[in-house]
Chain A
Amino acid sequence: MESTDDRTASGEGTESGVSAAQLPTRQEVEDFLYREAGLLDEWRLEEWLELLTDDAVYQVPPTDSPEGDARNTLFIIADDAVRIRSRVKQLLGKFAWAENPHSRTRRMIANVRVLGAEGDDILVTANFAVFRMRYESVDTYIGHYSYKLIRGAEGLKIKERRAILDNEALRPHGKISFIL
């Protein structure tokens, strides 16, 4: 993260990439992330999909290797765009039993920072606390998001979304059955 800050500070935005002047403000990113959180908490998953690029990636690294690479480390979730869409379709269908009936979720997004750019990717980080309520228990997922956002004709879009857990294990949660 810090090296990215340095790169931005030293003005290293390639000509084809995003210059410092074009970086979104923190407020614009916050508005975007709050909107995303609202769509997810309200189970408006089809609309959430519209926030993603066609080649989007959604990952949750394992709790013992938060910095791991999904190509050589066993993740909890490592979805490509096809699998994200399938996940949403399943969650909105009848047979994803772990989310049928749907759990309630409530997301707190904080400490939003625009870290800089890498080519066209806008690097953003934000802390999260996501509460999942089901069968009268509350499970708390704590961590931070690492986003790569793209600015397109329709505004910001998500190209990469990594939810990095601080929880040392999914205990007692047992699962990540909704979109974290």
Chain B
Amino acid sequence: MRKVFVAALREYRTTALTRSFFFGAVVFPIAIWGIMIAVAAFTKGERPPLTGSMAVVDPTPAGAIAEGIRARFDPQKLEAERQRRIKEIDAALDKSPVPLSPQQREIAKSQALAFFGLAKAWQVDVQTATPAEADAWREKVKTGAALALVEISEASVAVPPGAFQLFNTRKMDPDDLSAIREAATRSIVDERLRRASLDPVRVRDIMAAPPQAATATLTAEGVQKGGEALARILPFAFMFLLYLSAVIGGSYLLYSTLEEKSNRIMEVLLSAMSPTQLLAGKILGQGAVGLTVLIMYAGLGLLAARHFGVLHQIPLGALPWMLVFFLIAYAFQAALTAAVGSACAQITDAQALYAPVTMINILPFLVMVPVMENPGGLLPKVLTLTPVISPYVAIMRLGQPAHPVPLWELFAATLVGIAAVIAAVWLAAKIFRVGVLMYGKPPSILGLLKWASYR
């Protein structure tokens, strides 16, 4: 056992106590976050205005629908609308419960303007055309002389409606196209309102400002601020944290095994310890690396939750289970990874053999949506007891306090997980024992399984 710990300590020291780990696990994620903010900040700038002409074939005698579309793209009206929205957005941002930096305000504002379709200026000449002129306009659109042609018939205004036609050039930006479509749709709806003797402007104002709910959570400690956003992402966050730490630990194990193979040091090590001891030491050492990642990220998450006053929304009782399921998920991942690593001396060889492990790693993401949508349903219950995937599903369900997981299910998931780990480690130990001394062409997956049958 002493040798296992000596090997584990070396694995941990040479992985976690290095500059590359610090950059990979700490600096890199922070840098990514910074880059995302920077990219968002750079993209907030206004795009060049859209210029050109388009035509609307309008069935109404007064051309009210075409007028509605024209008004939508009227530069002056657009600018007025824009200023009005900016005021509204500013007012909303002032009321934010979370203090915002100037950059964050700018990003939020530009995203809100984009949402209202006001991020871009339009200098489009909207003309009204008769059905007879439609052919000529189609030709213009075809040659690129005009941007678009909207052909609306009386049937489009009826309820239930018939479709209206929107012809455009191939060069048109999808955002612009959807702006034209929305403008046409809104203008047709306005016409329907007018026919029902309602004032479209009034109706829109009523509909545009739905009442806001101030969500609060009643707890033993009193009324706590809270919302659905965190509750919605929590199961995913739990699962992703588990996945990330297990996969990071596993990938370091792959690299360290490949390094030992390519440096031809395996036999030197095997003169001092058995392959099983070496495998155990490696799994243990890199498990400690994965645990470091888990504790680091989970700790940062909890600190952030505390900072924003939403710590009460996190079911802290799930954290010990997180540890249990991490150990299971990691050990399974590590066993497979070590088996693959032992068979290869080059990362390029390992990639082909690693494909099945990658496929297994995708499983939690495939079942994520059904589990999150109906955590108490039959499928999540079955998946909780399905080997390989059980830790991920169990932790996702624990991330939804609204649907408590019966304790027996958690224990059963643990037992199923441990059984899967024992099977994987047994198989991996057999492959590892043969693989570490094999050089030359790496085997196929079937060949790898065959190694397990060697005496």
A and B associate:
no
**A contact residues vs B (CB 8 Å cutoff):** none
